[in-house]
Amino acid sequence: MGFRRRSVELLFVFWVVLWPFCLGIRSINSRLPVGGGDGFGFSMYGASEFVEAPQYRNGNDCPAIKPYASLCDPSFVHIAMTLDSEYLRGSLAAVYSINHHASCPENIFFHFIAAEFDPASPRLLNQIVRSTFPSLKFKVHIFREDKVINLISSSIREALENPLNFARIYLGEMLDSCIDRVIYLDSDIIVVDDIQELWNTKLTNPAVIGAPEYCHANFTNYFTPAFWSDPVLSRVFKSRKPCYFNTGVMVMDLERWRKGNYKKMIENWMEIQKKLRIYELGSLPPFLLVFAGNVEPIHHRWNQHGLGGDNVRGSCRPIHPGPVSLLHWSGKGKPWARLDSGNPCPIDRVWASFDLFKGKSLVAAPSMGYSSYLKQ
Ligand SMILES: *[C@@H]1O[C@H](CO)[C@@H](O)[C@H](O)[C@H]1NC(C)=O
> Residue 243 to residues 215, 219, 220, 285: CA-CA distances in angstroms?
5, 7, 10, 12
Whole-angstrom Cα distance, residue 307 to residue 333? 8
Select from 214, 216, 219, 220 the residue to mutate for testing ligand 1; criterion: most ligand atoms less than 8 Å from CB: 220
DSSP letter for 194, please: -
Confidence at 17, pLDDT banded by 50, 70, 90: very low
Using an 8 Å Cβ cutoff, are 24 and 142 in contact? yes
Backbone angles phi, psi at 248, to 5 degrees: -80, -15
> How far, in Å, from the CA of 225 to the mean position of ligand 1?
12
Position 74 scores a pLDDT of: 94
List the alpha helices (DSSP H) in 133-218: 171-174, 195-199
Q: Does the pLDDT of residue 23 top 60, yes or no?
A: no
Q: Residue with the nearest Cα to atom 6 of ligand 1?
A: 220
> How far, in Å, from the CA of 359 to the mean position of ligand 1?
46
Domain 7-31+69-199: give its CATH code: 3.90.550.10
Could you tell me which residues are beta bridge partners of residue 60?
none
**Omega before residue 206 within 30° of 0, cis:** yes
Whole-angstrom Cα distance, residue 16 to residue 112? 11
Q: Give pLDDT tens digits for 276-298.
A: 999 998 899 999 999 999 999 99
> How far, in Å, from the CA of 220 to the mean position of ligand 1?
6
**All structural domains of the chain with their residue ranges:** 7-31+69-199, 209-298, 304-376
Using an 8 Å Cβ cutoff, are 278 and 224 in contact? yes
Backbone angles phi, psi at 55, to 5 degrees: -100, 140
Winning range, highest mean pLDDT, from 15-19, 38-42, 87-91: 87-91
Confidence at 13, pLDDT banded by 50, 70, 90: very low
Confidence at 313, pLDDT banded by 50, 70, 90: low
Confidence at 68, pLDDT banded by 50, 70, 90: confident
For ligand 1, which residues put their CB under 6 angstroms from it?
218, 220-221
Given the CA of residue 218, which atom of ligand 1 is nearest to it?
Answer: 1
Residue predicted with more confidence, 39 or 348: 348
> How far, in Å, from the CA of 121 to the mean position of ligand 1?
45
Q: Does the pLDDT of residue 8 top 60, yes or no?
A: no
Backbone angles phi, psi at 320, to 5 degrees: -70, 155
Q: Which of 149, 87, 96, 158 is nearest to 119 (CA)?
A: 87
